[in-house]
Each structure stands twice: as C-alpha cells, then as structure tokens.
Amino acid sequence: MRYLFLLIILIPALDISLLLVSGKAIGLWPTIALIILTGILGAYLAKREGLQTIRRVQEQLSYGQLPGDALLDGICVLIGGTLLLTPGFITDITGFFFLFPPSRKAIKSFIIKMWQRRINKGRIKIIK
C-alpha cells in the first residue's frame, strides 16, 4: 500500500515534467496534439479490446466455463484505457502496455503470481 501512495505522487510529477520538457523540445501545439492523439487512440483500442473481452466472457459462459482469463483481460483493458485517457507520456506508455495482448499476457501472469503468493502466505483467504 505504501508503494501505491508513492506512485500516486511520483507518476504525475514525472508526467508533468515530461510534458514540460516535450513542450520546450517540440513546442506547445505538437505536445497538445500528441496528448489528444494518444487519448483518442487509447479510447479506440480500449473499446476494441473491451468488446473482444466481453465476447470471450460470454462465449466461455455459454459453454459453462469460468471466464477467469477473460476477466483478467477485462481488468487489464480497464486499467489501460483509464491510463490512456490520463494526460501524460508515462501513463500513455503504461496504458498501451496494458492494452496490447502480447504485453497483457505478461501482466496477467504477474497478477496471478502475486495473488497466489498472497493466498499462500495467508493474507487472502478463500471461503467456500
């Protein structure tokens, strides 16, 4: 939890500094255009990947399967879309990382390992 607080402070500060450096390097209007372009592209990708994920969840449910992998995809797409709508280059790069299927696979395996460690240490208990 303490790392989350640090990220909430550190990432926006770094994003603002990168935006200022970009504004000086390429100019104000190209920087604003890049921010708007990544927002539009991010919204499009999040919509496309989100709809594919919803279809996969529905398909797996119709076959009587639990859609665990597809739900993790949905979480990644939600996080990625949110990050891409947030202005800043660091959040945009991270958002694209969450949206693209090859990199999303690595993120999902990390999330699964993290939850397995917490369950094994007894920090999370599953009650039937």
Instruction: Dump pLDDT digits (tens) for 3-21.
Output: 888 888 898 899 999 999 9
The verdict on residue 9 lying in a domain is no
Which residue segment(s) compose the domain that 71 sits in?
19-120
Query: Given a cut of 90, is residue 124 above it in pLDDT?
Result: no
22 within 8 A of 89, measured Cβ to Cβ: yes
In a domain, 4, yes or no: no
Residue 107 lies in a domain: yes
55, part of any domain? yes
Total number of domains constituting the chain: 1
pTM: 0.82
Q: Specify if 92 maps to a domain.
A: yes
Give pLDDT tens digits for 39-86.
899 889 999 999 999 999 999 889 888 888 888 999 999 999 888 888
Per-residue b/e over 51-85, b at no fewer than 16 CB within 10 Å? eebeebbeebeeeeeebebbebbbebbebbbebbb
Contact 74, 57 (CB under 8 A): yes
Residue 10 lies inside a defined structural domain of this protein: no
Q: Is residue 62 part of a domain?
A: yes
Q: Please report whether residue 8 resides in a domain.
A: no
pLDDT of 123 strictly over 90 = no
